[in-house]
Homo-oligomer: A and B are copies of this chain.
Amino acid sequence: MSNVHNFSAGPCILPQEVFEKSAQAILNFNDIGLSILEISHRSKDFVAVMDEARAIVKRLMKLGDDYEVLYLGGGASLQFLMVPFNLLKTKAAYLDTGTWAAGAIKEAKMVGEIDIIASSKADNYAYIPKDYEVRSEYDYFHCTSNNTIYGTQMKSFPKVDTLMVCDMSSDIFSRDIDFSQFDLIYAGAQKNMGPAGVTLVVVKKSILGKTDRVIPSYLNYQQHIDKESMLNTPPVFPVYASLLTLQHLEKNGGIAAAEQRNISKAHLLYDEIDRNPNFETFCRAEDRSLMNISFKLTDESKKDAFDAAWKAAGISGLNGHRSLGGYRASMYNAMPIESVQVLVDVMSSLK
């Protein structure tokens, strides 16, 4: 597999060790003579997986017992709905930084009243709005830490007078931030922490149970917490592969070391874009993402030559999102800097 450089925006590259160990677990899990695909989720072998998968998140994020960790189905899209169902009483504040933030806003509006307190939509989401204030009248503030399509990322988070909820689907575990500033974090696993099919939720227990709303069981965080993330049959294999991914991260220096690698990879590519007159990014320099670098040709007539060159180099998944066009290099935790160098070499060779 070493000849393919996978820049896919997600599902995306994972550590080779995760592929090898999860393939082995499908043939014979824990040497018990059964496949991970056929064991009961109530078996001691899988309960141990779920327990450790929940515990490792708190270790990596340096969070205490006031937080709970859940692995749920339905994707981050279902969290767009579960967050307001569980937290919205009167009114919530949303920051509109792109397609996924807009998706979260759309679902929340079906549950109750929300204010979009800042938006960069009029500039096609080319920057992260910073000039806003979140007052205590809001039940919570919702933001999206990284915007895969536009290649923007929140470099810091506001001080707010209410709860802070963050969709970290596309940059979770990529940088060393103070996770305790958030009251609820959610993330589809399929970028930095595993394969598609499971969604991480990290929630501060004390914020739950404050609305009078009747919350259906699957949408109710407290019910999932009460059942230790096994309210119903969990997505067993995606949880296991996520645990393998996080164990690989922990063994390799944790989040701080991953951040250093991510900075090196991003600088390598941004330096080439800034140096090379053939390329430019879509977004403002100060909001550039370390995860997804969206860029375009300055001269569209070179498209055929560039496309042929990166494909010949074994690069995969570089096309930009259909809504924006151009190119997108997604460089999640598992992306080796050698693959970024291959892309930079192709770019620098373009006449």
B-chain residues with CB within 8 Å of residue A110 when the two chains form the complex: 214, 216
Whether A218 lies near B74 (C-beta < 8 A) is yes
Q: Does A38 contact B (CB under 8 A)?
A: yes
Whether B20 lies near A37 (C-beta < 8 A) is no
What is the size category of the interface that chain A forms with chain B? Answer: 35 or more
Contact with B along A8-26 (1 / 0, CB 8 A): 1111111000111011101
Q: How many copies does the complex hold?
A: 2
B-chain residues with CB within 8 Å of residue A106 when the two chains form the complex: 217
Whether A75 lies near B33 (C-beta < 8 A) is no
Q: Does A219 contact B (CB under 8 A)?
A: yes
27 contacts between A and B (CB under 8 A): A8-B43, A10-B233, A11-B37, A11-B39, A13-B38, A14-B35, A19-B27, A19-B37, A23-B23, A23-B24, A23-B26, A37-B241, A74-B78, A76-B232, A77-B217, A103-B217, A106-B217, A107-B216, A107-B218, A110-B214, A110-B216, A111-B216, A195-B236, A196-B234, A196-B236, A197-B197, A237-B237
B-chain residues with CB within 8 Å of residue A12 when the two chains form the complex: 38, 40
Whether A14 lies near B40 (C-beta < 8 A) is no
A197: min CB distance to chain B, Å: 3
